[in-house]
Amino acid sequence: MKDYERSGRREVYRNPWLSFEVYDVVHPSGATGEHGLVVTPPASAAIVADGGDLLFARQPRFAVDAIAVEVV
């Protein structure tokens, strides 16, 4: 699968907790467009489970420009 091609970036908003960036992109289909991205400080999460199965998914994420493993 072809990835998004990023051709430009501009920050349109910033405060102490987050910023908002807009990227000019070429979609895998070849169409051009924009992609908005909310940028926050690094974060983490915890899963507390008392037995049973956990289900995870691999999902391509524009924000990290990679495949992320997420809890479903």
Q: Are 8 and 25 in contact (CB under 8 A)?
A: no
pLDDT in tens, the chain (72 residues): 467 889 899 999 999 999 999 999 998 889 999 999 999 998 888 888 888 888 999 998 888 888 989 888
Specify whether the backbone of 16 is left (phi greater than 0), alpha (psi in -120 to 50) or beta.
Answer: alpha
